[in-house]
Amino acid sequence: EMVSLAALPGTGIVGAKLLFPDRTLQHAGVIAGLFRYAAHWFSHGAEDMAGHLGRLQARNNLSAVTGACLMISRACWDQIGPLDAERFAEDCNDIDLCLRARAGGFELVWTPFALLLHHESASRGRRRSKAHRERLKAQRARMEALWRTATLVDPHYNPNLARNSLHAGIAKRPEGSRAPRTDAIQPPEAGL
């Protein structure tokens, strides 16, 4: 499934549906700008949840997918390079990679038809020291400076939906432009 989608012209990155060991949703795509950063929408929802307008039951274009399981096309890799472990050693590197791919003109696809069980943080552990939390905070600040995630409006997320809801709640006031969608995420300014 993922290989066939990655082989489509213009596709840069493909992500899979991931479940926690309790079989609730861990990953059904990442919405950039959600909670003023980026978040896995419908996280901890039911495995068979349809989601907003049935989007969790169909392939979708998104602005980001998790690095826990993604496939990148050779053309995308050649153009944007690998995960940026210099700036984002422990966190944010997958979101940065995806936003660079989008800025480079590539499509990102999430598919519910590639399904995996994911033991989140099994390789790096769940214990987080104060120093580790500080590093994560610094990486998120770097991400905000680079991509302005606090105000980023994801072109694949309806502006009438709340930016503080994992489950596509209705916004009190729509956020973002109602201008025609361009799907363009601009590359960061040089030097960041």
Per-residue pLDDT tens over the stretch 123-170: 566 666 888 888 888 888 888 888 887 777 778 777 777 767 667 667
Residue 120, pLDDT > 80, answer: no
Of the spans 30-39, 85-94, 98-107, which averages the highest pLDDT? 98-107
* DSSP for residue 52: G
CA angle 3, 168, 66 (to 5 degrees): 30
Neighbours of 40 (CB within 10 A): 21
Q: Higher model confidence: residue 114 or residue 125?
A: 114
Where do the H-state alpha helices sit in 25-154? 74-80, 93-103, 130-147
pTM beyond cutoff 0.85:
no
pLDDT of residue 177: 60
